[in-house]
Structure 1
């Protein structure tokens, strides 16, 4: 049995398979997932698990070089934005796009991890970096 890291085998496998610039998404319970994009559904109840809890666990196990957020999070969910910014390090740059452009970008991600989060615009795309 694993002693450290992510225990969820689907998430662990996706992270191990990522190459430089590959992207994954973590989304709230209402994020529409494009046809053909795999979903790892962690939601068990409203707000459980929370978006930020899942984000922190993934960030601890994934080398990220850039994140993409919907521009609307700035005004519609500033508390979540502050939590996201606190979870990131100086290595990750934040790129903002419209929510419509965000949903379009979801067609390119390797997987969407669905949380039980029920607050608006609690969605992020993480772009894989490299360790060297």
Structure 2
């Protein structure tokens, strides 16, 4: 049995196969997923699993050098605060891109992970880094 937080074998294997710069998208339940990338569907019911929980597990195994979220996910009224599903989890500041650009990046991702998250624009692109 694995000792790390991430127990899902297909997701763990996908992370192990990443090369420098490869992208993983963690998606809410409604993000359209193109035909190209490997699709891992974790959604069970609305809200299960939450994107924050999947992000925490993925970050326990993946070296991330870059992250991107949609500008639309940021609450401008609260002083451009990161959304709750992302806040405090990343060691780097995510780049802000349009939701349309995020959807285009999905086609180039190695894997797209669908969660049960139902918060609008709750999607994040993670770019693999190196550990040396």
Indicate whether the TM-score tops 0.5.
Answer: yes
Q: Is the 8 A contact 1:23 1:127 kept in 2?
A: yes
**Deviation of the 1:82 alpha carbon:** 4.0
Matches within 5 A, 1:107-122: 107-122=107-122
Give the TM-score normalised by structure 2.
0.90
Q: In proportion to residue count, which structure has more helix? A: 1
Matches within 5 A, 1:1-132: 1-75=1-75, 81-89=83-91, 92-132=92-132
Per-residue Cα deviation, 1:82-117 (whole angstroms, up to 9, x for no partner): 44131111xx24111111111011111001011000
Q: Any unmatched runs of 5+ in structure 2?
A: none
Q: Any unmatched runs of 5+ in structure 1?
A: none
In 2, the alpha carbon distance for the partners of 1:51 and 1:82 equals: 10
Q: CA RMSD in A?
A: 1.7
Give the TM-score normalised by structure 1.
0.90
